[in-house]
Structure 1
Amino acid sequence: MADLHFLYPHWLWLLGLIPLLWLFYWLRGHDDSGWETLVDPELAPFVLTGRTRKRRFPAFLLVSLLTLLTVLAMAGPAWEKRETPTFRLQQSVVVGLDLSASMLAQDVAPNRMDQARFKLLDLLKLRRDGQTGLVVFAGDAFVVSPLTDDTRTIAAQAQNLGPDIMPVQGSRADLAIGKAVELLQQARSPQGGILLVTDGASDVGRARLAAADALKAGYTVSVLALGTDRGAPVPLANGSFLTDAGGRTVMPGLDEAALRTVASDGGGLYRKAQIGDADVQQLEAFWTSDMEGTELVSGQERQFDQWFNEGVWLVLVLVPFMALMFRRGWLAGVLCALVLQPLQPVQAAVWENLWQTPDQQGIAAFEAGDAAGAAQLFRDPDWKAAAAYKAGDYARALQLYADSRTVDGVYNYGNALARLGRYPEAIAAYEQVLAQQPDHEDARYNLELLKQKQQEQQQQQQQAGGQQNPEQGQPQQQAGDGSSRSQPQNNAAQQQQDAQQQAGQDEQQQQDQQAQQGEQQEPEREGEGQEAQPQEAQASAADREQQQATEQWLRRIPDDPAGLWRRKFYYQYQQRARQQTGEGW
């Protein structure tokens, strides 16, 4: 019952009728006309109407109770989630985004790559039914997102995609079509659409064959072309332009005729990108019309949790009182309660602390950017740990991730350890992740960084130990030489403590005068104190240096999604050991 809330809390305003009902009862009970003082008390109930108050009390109490139950039933009390099968349209779409170097050409503003991103985002906004996947391709094809209903995740990754993340250049549209067909078949989608957002294909013949094979499998292939026939140079990071093997500047133009044949063989639609979203609207309309006559598919393997309306049980409680409500128009009240009973649960969010579960409140706070507040609200341990980590409370996140046995949980556990500076334990956690999932690139990358960090720390400790060894015999040597007691031997500490050295020189002169008078014992003690100060300063400086080194290492922890995609694609490309074919752009 901890998750008790109401699906329709606006009906609770009707509870205000109950106080009004009892106010009416109280006013009727005080309607005295003075006859009670004149009529015999034994005859009063039979001759005075005002004395019927006691007999009306049970009726008012019953009406109040029934009103309360009716309002609560209409408000939809819920405290349990139940799995509900989903229904979705069979039509699915996989977008193949071209990330070849030619997409950097600026014959369209701002360039082909940015325009492709804008078109992708426009398409994702229009995708309300069915599932969407994303494949990127250049000299090879890679999956960014499998088929999913969450288009926001795909949109969030769009800004991280560019030609620089691809391990090999080219424009293998045929490989993109093949990878898209694999995604559709893995999702058990009997039909669907494939969209190539591209400026050309390295091998048009292979692309046409792949499009025809996709059509035979039940998937249409459409093309959204970018660029102009004239083309434009391809700028490089060093400010120059891309050249071919002969040293000539490459001017990749748009071959519309070739791309039209690919779309025709794939049974799809060809459109050239234009200003506005009319082109993507036409593509979406094409997929929708192609889906007409197709029945909805029950997602038996895909279910989601839904709050179950328990108000029906309150309606059953009201049934025994149906007989009473036949009198004096009470049946109309019962019928109204049954008619107004909602049929489909709709989640409401009114007065968060009363009607939302803690996890729902936590998600709202997390999306609003209040990670610390979300960590306090969440009850789900995974969400609570993620919010704590986002808020910088790594110690709390470490405690929550400690019980996780999943790959992601152990990986996040290692990240929390690394943030807390517990490198050996973090290394062990990353090694455990790699033992369970050898292709986990993030864990491998962090593991290498931590090992490098450990080596740097060991070198620093060795250097610090070598600097401290000469200082250990320094007080004894200075004890026999009063003229050098106030001067430290460590040069690094001397540079940081110039003011202390000047004070030491003044005291040294005083010590020389005292030595001439035969009072050498006290200068020796002062010399020891002078020597301790630079040593403490040196230790403090070493601590600061260690802290700065740790902060620098933490900043090196990858927060670059594009870099993660680059390493992942490179690893996958090495595994495939595919030979590059076609142009290098």
Structure 2
Amino acid sequence: MFREPIYLLWMLPALIALGWCHSRGERARRALSQVLGRPRTLERLVEPGLAPRRRLLALLEAAALALIFAALAGPQWGIELHGTQGKARQVMIAVDTSLSMTAEDVRPTRLEKAKEELSFLIDSLKGDRVGLIAFAGEASVVCPMTTDVEAAKETLKALEPGAIPVPGSALGKAIRSAVDRLARYEGGKALVLLTDGEDLAGPKGEDPLAAAEEAASAGVRIFAIGIGTPQGEPIPLRDAAGQIMGYKKDRRGNTVISRLGEKTLAEIASRSSGYYLRVSPSAQASAEIARRLLELEAVAGESGTTASYKNRFVIPLALAFLLLLLELMIGEGTHPFGLERKDFRKGVLIPLALALFAAQARAAGAEGSLRRGNKLYDRERYEEALREYDKAAKAAPGDARPVFNAGDALYRLEDLERAEAAFKAIAQSGTQPKDLRADAYYNLGNVMYQRGELPKAIESFRKSLSLRPGDPEAAHNLALALRRLKNPQQPKHGPGRQEKQEPEPKKKDKGDTKEQGGEPPRNQPRTRPQDQISKEDAERVMRAVSEKEKASRRQELQKQAPRAPEAEEDW
């Protein structure tokens, strides 16, 4: 790949011009020899072999010129990750997905109106880090902190009542989960809590007011948005077609009226130096919250990661310099610079040998760093492993294995954004081996699965299978993602956790393979999700997918999650 390929087009005219100059010079020498005397007399005066040497010099000049134009074209290969700098605030958004959010005192429903408000809010947070928590009786991070606002909006759009199968509204758990996630970041931190304010966590639930005080101690301000009305509204129960079958009743048979708990939300905001407001039809609450979020301190630092090809113009430029130097050393005399021909060969071959030795030393250093990184990875010391992979990448810029393994370490560190960039750069590269790209797509699918972006996960697993047909792990994970998309069974855990239901990444190359620099063996340990789906079931699901395109993501999300043991107040 070339950054400025137009220079390659200019290479041919330049070489033609150089050849014309040499040809004209040769004709001038012949004309001069005819003027000065007879050709045989001149041959005795001129050193034997001068004509072949001139042709060699012309070839060296032409090769050097071609390399100079190649350097100007800007050759690029190998993958390089760059942190993008910027000032960012840290904002976690917690959305109530309990059954009470289906009430229709706010049109169309509380949850749909909440998603509309938060979508506008996320649009205003471009350049900031945004995360998403869904909560009911439990809280779960459905979108880790990221600067990719489109990914956050896509996850928000997919939320439905019952996404968290544990009934209730545990405000305290949602607050503590957000504080835990925000604790690792510097600068201004905020939690946007959008709920109807009913704290129905049960007798063993966490006190939301105490959680708000802990948030204040951690430097997290809570901006609470109440949705609903103080008068309340019954909670509709719908069938699979969306038709109302009746209304939620408590254990005594009374119709439940879900009311907005403004007092609790206002107190939560007050104790964390935040702000409370209610969603109203006349104004967007998100606009006011966005304005107040601007008061947070934005801290300079890495706001994201981009991948690019490494510039390699130095290589052809250095080769061109060596060829021109060689031309000067050969010259047109018998012994250039007074060197005997044997000494001349030493003068050329010794530097070349030293250069080759240096290249081998750099390669050995890269393999050592790769081995050390893999040992640290196996001991779950992922940050130290990441540093070793970075050293290996610098020592061997053309080797994609350190970048791949760095992606694995970032996955374990829950830095899914940078892990995605690493795997995507390898997967989409046309210069990498098919097996490596297949593994990169496999791991990219796992990243997307962890982020809750199931359609993208499915697409990545499919591409992995297209590059390596019959891979049982990719087939299994594809079937698992499809089954989860169609009928999710449980809340999404945070990324990188060792949950048996979650797919884990492939890790390339132990670094101590016998063939240094070769492709690693395929028998690396890879734990597949133990969701107990048979090979036959996986094949059946894959056949069904190939025959019929799936409906949109929102339509395929679960409408009724399985219920946990019934609580006193389960709405």
State the TM-score, normalizing by the size of structure 1. Answer: 0.51
- CA contact under 8 A between 1:378 and 1:384: conserved in structure 2? no
**Is residue 2:170 matched to residue 1:192?**
no
Match of 1:289 among 286, 291, 295: 295
**Is residue 2:380 matched to residue 1:380?**
no
SS at match of 2:234: coil
**Is residue 2:450 matched to residue 1:390?**
no
- What are the within-5 Å matches in structure 2 for residues 237-386 of structure 1? 237=238, 239-244=245-250, 247-256=253-262, 258-273=264-279, 279-292=285-298, 294-296=299-301, 306-315=308-317, 363=428, 379-383=436-440
- Asked which structure has the greater CA Rg, the reply is 1
Alpha-carbon distance change, 25 to 190 in structure 1, aligned in 2, over 3 angstroms: closer
1:195 Cα deviation (Å)?
A: 1.0
Residue of structure 1 equivalent to 2:501: 440
* Paired-residue identity, %: 23
SS at match of 1:380: helix
SS at match of 2:35: coil
1:247 Cα deviation (Å)?
A: 4.3
**Is residue 2:81 matched to residue 1:75?**
no
SS at match of 2:314: helix
- CA contact under 8 A between 2:7 and 2:73: conserved in structure 1? no
- What are the within-5 Å matches in structure 2 for residues 49-68 of structure 1? 68=66
Alpha-carbon distance change, 57 to 116 in structure 1, aligned in 2, over 3 angstroms: farther
The aligned length equals 390
Provide the C-alpha distance between the structure 1 equivalents of 2:471 and 2:540, rounded to a whole number of angstroms: 26
Deviations 1:339-361 (A, max 9, x none): xxxxxxxxxxxxxxxxxx99869
Provide the C-alpha distance between the structure 2 equivalents of 1:381 and 1:166, rounded to a whole number of angstroms: 33
Aligned partner letter, 1:265: R
Alpha-carbon distance change, 128 to 312 in structure 1, aligned in 2, over 3 angstroms: farther
Aligned partner letter, 1:440: Q
SS at match of 1:166: coil
Alpha-carbon distance change, 219 to 108 in structure 1, aligned in 2, over 3 angstroms: same
More helix by share: 1
Provide the C-alpha distance between the structure 2 equivalents of 1:389 and 1:152, rounded to a whole number of angstroms: 21
1:217 Cα deviation (Å)?
A: 0.7
Deviations 1:459-489 (A, max 9, x none): xxxxxxxxxxxxxxxxxxxxxxxxxxxxxxx
- CA contact under 8 A between 2:79 and 2:308: conserved in structure 1? yes
Provide the C-alpha distance between the structure 2 equivalents of 1:122 and 1:395, rounded to a whole number of angstroms: 39
- CA contact under 8 A between 2:86 and 2:300: conserved in structure 1? no
Q: Which has the higher contact order (CA 8 A, sep 6+)?
A: 2
Provide the C-alpha distance between the structure 1 equivalents of 2:188 and 2:237, rounded to a whole number of angstroms: 40
**Is residue 2:6 matched to residue 1:13?**
yes
Aligned partner letter, 1:167: P
1:227 Cα deviation (Å)?
A: 2.8
**Is residue 2:148 matched to residue 1:143?**
no
Alpha-carbon distance change, 399 to 40 in structure 1, aligned in 2, over 3 angstroms: closer
Match of 1:174 among 154, 172, 175: 172
SS at match of 1:263: helix
- CA contact under 8 A between 2:130 and 2:145: conserved in structure 1? yes
Provide the C-alpha distance between the structure 1 equivalents of 2:285 and 2:149, rounded to a whole number of angstroms: 19
Alpha-carbon distance change, 551 to 146 in structure 1, aligned in 2, over 3 angstroms: closer
1:219 Cα deviation (Å)?
A: 1.0
Provide the C-alpha distance between the structure 1 equivalents of 2:64 and 2:560, rounded to a whole number of angstroms: 62
Aligned partner letter, 1:309: N
- CA contact under 8 A between 2:479 and 2:541: conserved in structure 1? no
Alpha-carbon distance change, 126 to 43 in structure 1, aligned in 2, over 3 angstroms: farther
1:202 Cα deviation (Å)?
A: 2.0
Residue of structure 2 equivalent to 1:478: none
- CA contact under 8 A between 1:193 and 1:220: conserved in structure 2? yes
Provide the C-alpha distance between the structure 2 equivalents of 1:384 and 1:92, rounded to a whole number of angstroms: 30
1:298 Cα deviation (Å)?
A: 9.6
Provide the C-alpha distance between the structure 1 equivalents of 2:82 and 2:209, rounded to a whole number of angstroms: 42
Provide the C-alpha distance between the structure 2 equivalents of 1:17 and 1:392, rounded to a whole number of angstroms: 40
Provide the C-alpha distance between the structure 1 equivalents of 2:470 and 2:14, rounded to a whole number of angstroms: 56
Alpha-carbon distance change, 63 to 566 in structure 1, aligned in 2, over 3 angstroms: farther
Provide the C-alpha distance between the structure 2 equivalents of 1:310 and 1:392, rounded to a whole number of angstroms: 29
- What are the within-5 Å matches in structure 2 for residues 421-440 of structure 1? 439-440=500-501
Alpha-carbon distance change, 59 to 261 in structure 1, aligned in 2, over 3 angstroms: farther
Alpha-carbon distance change, 309 to 398 in structure 1, aligned in 2, over 3 angstroms: same
- CA contact under 8 A between 1:95 and 1:196: conserved in structure 2? yes
**Is residue 2:230 matched to residue 1:234?**
no
Gaps of 5+ in 2: 38-53, 240-244, 326-421, 446-458, 484-496, 504-527
Aligned partner letter, 2:161: P
SS at match of 1:307: strand
Provide the C-alpha distance between the structure 2 equivalents of 1:202 and 1:437, rounded to a whole number of angstroms: 30
SS at match of 2:208: helix
- CA contact under 8 A between 1:361 and 1:377: conserved in structure 2? no
**Is residue 2:203 matched to residue 1:201?**
no
SS at match of 1:291: coil
- CA contact under 8 A between 1:69 and 1:318: conserved in structure 2? yes
Alpha-carbon distance change, 441 to 413 in structure 1, aligned in 2, over 3 angstroms: closer
Alpha-carbon distance change, 382 to 190 in structure 1, aligned in 2, over 3 angstroms: same
Residue of structure 2 equivalent to 1:327: none
Residue of structure 2 equivalent to 1:479: none
Provide the C-alpha distance between the structure 2 equivalents of 1:151 and 1:110, rounded to a whole number of angstroms: 24
- CA contact under 8 A between 1:193 and 1:219: conserved in structure 2? yes
Residue of structure 1 equivalent to 2:449: none
Provide the C-alpha distance between the structure 2 equivalents of 1:96 and 1:276, rounded to a whole number of angstroms: 23
Provide the C-alpha distance between the structure 1 equivalents of 2:68 and 2:23, rounded to a whole number of angstroms: 29
- CA contact under 8 A between 2:307 and 2:425: conserved in structure 1? no
Deviations 1:272-327 (A, max 9, x none): 446799643543453343124x342699xxx88653212234455677989xxxxx
1:183 Cα deviation (Å)?
A: 1.8
1:215 Cα deviation (Å)?
A: 1.4
1:123 Cα deviation (Å)?
A: 3.7
- What are the within-5 Å matches in structure 2 for residues 394-405 of structure 1? 397-399=469-471, 401=473
- CA contact under 8 A between 1:388 and 1:397: conserved in structure 2? no
Could you say what the CA RMSD is over the residues aligned between the two structures, in angstroms?
Answer: 5.8
SS at match of 2:274: strand
State the TM-score, normalizing by the size of structure 2. Answer: 0.52
1:61 Cα deviation (Å)?
A: 8.3
Residue of structure 2 equivalent to 1:335: none
Deviations 1:185-239 (A, max 9, x none): 3x45565211111122327994333222201111111123323444433211252
Provide the C-alpha distance between the structure 2 equivalents of 1:63 and 1:142, rounded to a whole number of angstroms: 66
Provide the C-alpha distance between the structure 2 equivalents of 1:153 and 1:23, rounded to a whole number of angstroms: 53
Provide the C-alpha distance between the structure 1 equivalents of 2:307 and 2:425, rounded to a whole number of angstroms: 13
Aligned partner letter, 1:286: R
Provide the C-alpha distance between the structure 2 equivalents of 1:78 and 1:392, rounded to a whole number of angstroms: 25
Provide the C-alpha distance between the structure 2 equivalents of 1:28 and 1:452, rounded to a whole number of angstroms: 72
Provide the C-alpha distance between the structure 2 equivalents of 1:566 and 1:69, rounded to a whole number of angstroms: 64
